[in-house]
Amino acid sequence: MSGAARLARFGDNKKTPHPMPQNEAILVTGGSGQLARRVLELLLEQGAGPLITTTRSPERLYDLTARGVTVRQADFTQSAEDLADVFRGARQMLLVSTNTLEGPGKRFEQHERAIRAAVEAGVEHIVYTSLTFPYPSSPVTLARDHYETENLLREIRVEYTFLRNNIYAESLLFSLPGAVRSGRLKAAAGDGRAAYVTREDCARAAAGALLRGETRCSYEISGPEALSFADLADIASRLAGRPVTYEPVDADAWREELEAGGMDPKLAELWVSFDRAIGAGCMDLVTRDVERLSGRAPQHMEEFLQRHLEELHRN
């Protein structure tokens, strides 16, 4: 059986070694996550492959198995040795950053294990989902994890591509419905702006980056415009047909208010740190990289929110 045929077979058993002589597949980590799944769908639509995905929850990906994707179980808390076995057979990897809130350094720890395992398994090119302005001076609590992951990829013997994703447009669907209800959009971002980008555009850019295969470069994945919270309040007012006003608030008071409203304290800290980063001018970089990678201009926030009008009116 050829390497390709072996890779295309369904339902690899996580316990058996993966003796794939040739590294020819594209592997996407975290296949049950929203971004990774969409990237896999886009790659399938384009006939790319063979495709492998790793996930903590293979049972959620039976439909992808049926479409020819090899699904393997993996958790970046496993040993690098176990992970290397699971990654075998891949030439390229999309390393989707994990979402643990277990404190600074934890994501990097997981990414490091995955990267060392991938190199051990013979992966030649790692595309990594980083963050806009991934430097320790960013107020975003997990910016340092991205910084250290990028640095490791630069230092280790592998080709790399960074996709520095701006804030997902979908995060606005968390904050704007309450603002439409109350007429007040609160944030601790001053007059700062962010170049919100839809998850769909991030996924298209990631699929494009894998297919183009350009290495040793960073792409700044942004929406088409940088918007302040005052701009967002105006858009929400127009779309909802009700007045919404931006109310700048103090960061610590805002974190306490979010926690009092039931938000997990670690998430509240992360949320407010993004506000601080917006206020500090770390998130306003607008580029044409989404279009460069995907062939399609990124969606404007007004259009995105128009398409989610029902959610804006959510009670």
Ligand X SMILES: NC(=O)c1ccc[n+]([C@@H]2O[C@H](COP(=O)([O-])OP(=O)(O)OC[C@H]3O[C@@H](n4cnc5c(N)ncnc54)[C@H](OP(=O)(O)O)[C@@H]3O)[C@@H](O)[C@H]2O)c1
Let me know: does 27 contact 94? Beta carbons within 8 Å: yes
d(CA 225, CA 197): 9
Output the smallest distance, CB 217 to ligand X, in A.
19
Alpha carbons 207 and 129: distance in angstroms, whole number: 12
Q: How far is CA 138 from the centre of its chain?
A: 18
Name the site residues for ligand X (rule: CB under 6 A): 29-36, 55-57, 75-77, 96-100, 110, 129, 165, 167-168, 171, 199
- Residue 189 dihedral angles phi and psi, to the nearest 5°: -115, 5
Measured CA to CA, the distance from residue 185 to residue 60 in angstroms comes to 36
> 185 has which bridge partners?
246
Q: Tell me the closest approach of the beta carbon of residue 148 to ligand X, in angstroms.
A: 14
Of 23 and 100, nearer to ligand X (C-beta) is: 100
Which has the closest alpha carbon to 8: 53, 42, 75? 53
Cβ proximity to ligand X, 49 vs 223, nearer residue: 223
Nearest distance in Å: CB 170, ligand X: 7
Can you give the C-alpha Rg of the chain in angstroms? 20
Helix (H) or strand (E) holding 257: helix 251-260
Report in angstroms how near the CB of residue 313 gets to ligand X at its nearest: 23
Quick one: DSSP state of residue 168? Answer: B
**Both tokens of residue 61?**
């990906």
C-alpha to C-alpha distance for 125 and 257, rounded to whole angstroms: 43
What six digits make up the tokens of 62?
């039976």
Instruction: Output the smallest distance, CB 21 to ligand X, in A.
Output: 26
Nearest distance in Å: CB 154, ligand X: 19
Is the Cβ of residue 228 or residue 273 nearer to ligand X in the bound state?
273
Phi, psi (deg, nearest 5) at residue 193: -130, 155
Q: Which is nearer to ligand X, 59 or 241 (CB)?
A: 59
Closer CB to ligand X, residue 145 or residue 234?
145
In the complex, the smallest distance separating the C-beta of residue 53 from ligand X, rounded to whole angstroms, is 8
Return the number of the residue (33 or 298) whose C-beta is nearest ligand X.
33
Structure tokens given for 25: 């597949």
Determine the Cα–Cα distance for residues 246 and 186; give it in Å rounded to an integer: 6
User: What length is written for the chain?
Assistant: 315
| Between 25 and 131, CB nearer to ligand X | 131
What is the C-alpha separation between 51 and 26, in angstroms, rounded?
5
Smallest gap from residue 299 Cβ to ligand X (A)? 15
Nearer to ligand X, 98 or 294 (CB): 98
